[in-house]
Amino acid sequence: MIFTKQAYDYLLSIVTNGKISSIDINTYISSLIEGVPTLPATQVTGTRKDAQIAGVIALAESLGEHRNILEIGCSKGHLAAEYAKAHPEANITAIDVDEAVIETAKREHPKVIFEQADAWQYQPDTTLQLILSLHGCGNLTDRVIELAVENKANVICVPCCYGKIKRRDNQKSPIYLPRSNILQVDKNTFKNVVARRAAKMEGFVTTHKPTLPAVQLAAFRLLVNFDRAFYLQENGYQVKIAEVTTKYIPGSKSLNTPLRYAIIGKNDTHS
């Protein structure tokens, strides 16, 4: 899948004109996830986080073998630990800015290297093949992508907290979106419509049911991620949007979430 400005413009037009529907957004997402692996059926059970961890690992495996791996924003280390269990030959480093959760992770998962570190200052001391992030809050996802590009590493990130994406100078992140060259020509629309609506709707929309507001929020989030996909493509990546949990399941509040999608970037040097 190659993300195109034409696809971005069309999705933007139907969501801003009030013509979006669950069929529209699902059709778009289905086209973007074409060619990624079918996730294990066992993911319909367990917690949402368990399902997402299993999905991220399956997607990472679809990109090939990775010797040196970095997870950013690891919290208590469950993703890194499960990856290490599935691939004991891999060298995995996991970082988080919170010292308390890092100490917990070290106690519970001694086979993984955990470091207390700020992702905005962190620089790896080895060549990386893969960078992971599950629930990269706000612009942390963009720092993950930035580190991947700097290291020519494959990347899988699951964005969240779109309301924390930088739109004002007093916010911590040094990164403003849009960052892709292709959207710089229309950056005011991106900032004042796409990013603003993604931020403003978050927290006010029930997202575990396929209602119209939930579909609109999913569309604005997807439009934000178009910029991230464009940026990766401009830096030599093949990019897909992929599910990390199962499709919509009637009655399942824990698994039905628009945050079940990941950005997958495969660097051409790993082809």
Taking only the tens place, the pLDDT of each residue in 112-150 is: 999 999 999 999 999 999 999 998 999 999 999 999 999
> What region does 12 belong to: left with phi over 0, alpha with psi -120 to 50, or beta?
alpha
Strands, E, within 89-195: which ranges? 91-96, 113-116, 130-137, 154-160
Are residues 131 and 115 in contact, defined by beta-carbon separation less than 8 angstroms? Answer: no
What is the sign of the dihedral through the CA atoms of 52, 58, 62 and 63? Answer: positive
Residue in 81, 220, 71 with CA at minimum distance from that of residue 132: 71
Residues 26 and 20: their CA atoms lie apart, in Å, by 10
What is the structure's pLDDT at 44?
Answer: 45
Residue type, 163: G
Give CA angle at 67 (61, 70), nearest 5°.
Answer: 85
Average pLDDT per consecutive 10 residues, the chain (271 residues; last block may be shorter)? 85 85 65 57 58 89 95 96 96 97 96 95 95 93 96 95 78 82 94 92 69 82 94 95 66 54 86 53
Which pLDDT score, from 0 to 100, does residue 43 have?
A: 43
pTM for the full predicted model: 0.89
Question: Is residue 229 within 8 Å of residue 29, measured between CB atoms?
Answer: no
